[in-house]
Structure 1
Amino acid sequence: MTTITTTGLTQKVLDSRPPHPPVAEIVEVQDRAAFADPAKTSLLSAATKVRHLTPYIGTELVGVQLSTLTPAQKDELALLAAERGVVFFRDQDLTIDQQYELTTHFGVQDRDPNQVDPRHVTILGHD
């Protein structure tokens, strides 16, 4: 006795193509802080003074201009902000365009709907 089993895979099924292109694989990018020197040597050496505002949260970096940070210093800033919660810089010379450029280093940006200028952004996460 011969048994024939069918899978239902006809030539029409095999020739069919999905209506939309395949979704690109999502590769999670690490936070910029993951690339930083844990000692934050480059960033902290650029400061004339480092003030920890409380033992647990808040640091002020005196003498650092955000407009001149190197990519390594930006990564170290991401790590310092993650560790201390907030980092303060006084007397900055950044233009709005330089502020926008600085934030692109840290992740995906979303325009704040309450702002008229599209360069006012919120960082959502990673690229």
Structure 2
Amino acid sequence: MEEKLPPIYSKRAILGFSIFLSTLFGGVLLYRNLMEVNKKKEAYTILLFSIGITILTAVIVNIPETPKSSFAYLGGIAGGSLLAHYFVPKYFPDEDQYPKKPIWKPLVAGIIIVVVLVVSVIYSADGNY
């Protein structure tokens, strides 16, 4: 009897979320994949890695006198590439055999988080609390 594989987020989804939101978002998707297959130690390692890369990216973005948002995309590309092209094949060498999870839930969650952050920045910069 063939073992049924659980659905996971694809490496394209992990890379896309890392680039357009942050490495933390892509890392959370890979974390969820690893939890699905009971690789808890690896999942927590990926989560810590993603947090570290996200913090490092934030620091680098804010080094210049005028922060450069392009550095955030470069950090997302670098972190997402590591997640998608190094860690996914390492932990899921047969990734193409797994059914793929739809990205709608994390996409909606990401959009909500971004909207809340943007509104918070607008109101805090305006001084109207």
Q: What TM-score do you get using the length of structure 2 for normalisation?
A: 0.22
Of Structure 1 and Structure 2, the greater strand share is in 1
Bigger RCO (CA 8 Å, 6+ sep): 2
Please identify the structure whose Cα radius of gyration is greater: 1
Of Structure 1 and Structure 2, the greater helix share is in 2
